[in-house]
A and B are shown apart, each in its own frame.
Chain A
Amino acid sequence: DAGVTQSPTHLIKTRGQHVTLRCSPISGHKSVSWYQQVLGQGPQFIFQYYEKEERGRGNFPDRFSARQFPNYSSELNVNALLLGDSALYLCASSLEQSSGNTIYFGEGSWLTVV
């Protein structure tokens, strides 16, 4: 069975541009969360979506947005990119919205902003 899949795996963007990152959860999982991991730090929670609704939001500016589709896949959008947005963006899925023990992470999308 496929795990959490993310695309693209690597990308380079210029300051001010927009980026869309995509995530497909494990089959049957209804909850998708997004995390930002800056080099040398632990992942930081950005969003959680469950049944296509936003259920949690971390301390990130409004330039960050996300959505979940009927098939439970998700997109993370970041507008007006800054150099500090360079990071590994991780997607995680779980069966339900409060399943701390069954959160599975994808391999991430490496974003470099130049």
Chain B
Amino acid sequence: GQQLNQSPQSMFIQEGEDVSMNCTSSSIFNTWLWYKQDPGEGPVLLIALYKAGELTSNGRLTAQFGTTRKDSFLNISASIPSDVGIYFCAGPGNAGGTSYGKLTFGQGTILTVHP
């Protein structure tokens, strides 16, 4: 089945630093989604990407849909303490077809920001 591999698994950074994380897939995806999950809460959508090469920003967050359609990248600039959480990449379950609402998630990247 489809698998999404995220790296790194965890990051410890100082406030103000930039962060980069990526996600690779064994299959081609038509959509890439990036979610953030805070402790005790459900995932919240940060950025959605719909075509290869697309670069989309949401405040200090920037994500890119890889040209091979098998990878995506998320960058956070000038990190702040509230950026702490788990970041997940996700894609529709049936790459290239109808998603039927199923998302496949990566294992997550745990981000810790030291003040």
Given A42-B88, A100-B48: A56 and B101 interface contact (C-beta under 8 Å): yes
| Residues of chain B contacted by A44 (CB below 8 angstroms) | 105
Interface locus among B11-19, B39-47, B71-79: B39-47
Interface contact tally, CB-CB below 8 A: 80
Does chain A have a CB within 8 A of B66?
Answer: no
Tell me whether A105 and B100 are in contact (CB under 8 A). Answer: no
Tell me whether B31 and A101 are in contact (CB under 8 A). Answer: yes
Number of residues on chain B facing chain A (CB within 8 A) = 29
User: How far does the Cβ of B24 sit from chain A's closest Cβ, in whole Å?
Assistant: 14
User: How far does the Cβ of A64 sit from chain B's closest Cβ, in whole Å?
Assistant: 15
Given A31-B101, A48-B101: A100 and B44 interface contact (C-beta under 8 Å): no
Q: Mark B57-95, 1 if CB is under 8 A from A, else 0.
A: 000000000000000000000000000000010111100
| Residues of chain A contacted by B48 (CB below 8 angstroms) | 100-101
Not counting A58-B102, A90-B42, A101-B33, a sample of 4 additional A-B residue pairs whose C-beta atoms are within 8 angstroms of each other reads A56-B93, A59-B1, A99-B101, A107-B42
By Cβ-Cβ distance, the 7 closest A-B pairs, closest first, are: A42-B105, A105-B42, A48-B101, A56-B100, A101-B48, A100-B92, A45-B102
Question: Which A positions have Cβ atoms within 8 angstroms of B?
Answer: 4, 31, 33, 35, 40-45, 48, 50, 55-56, 58-59, 90, 92, 94, 97-101, 103-108
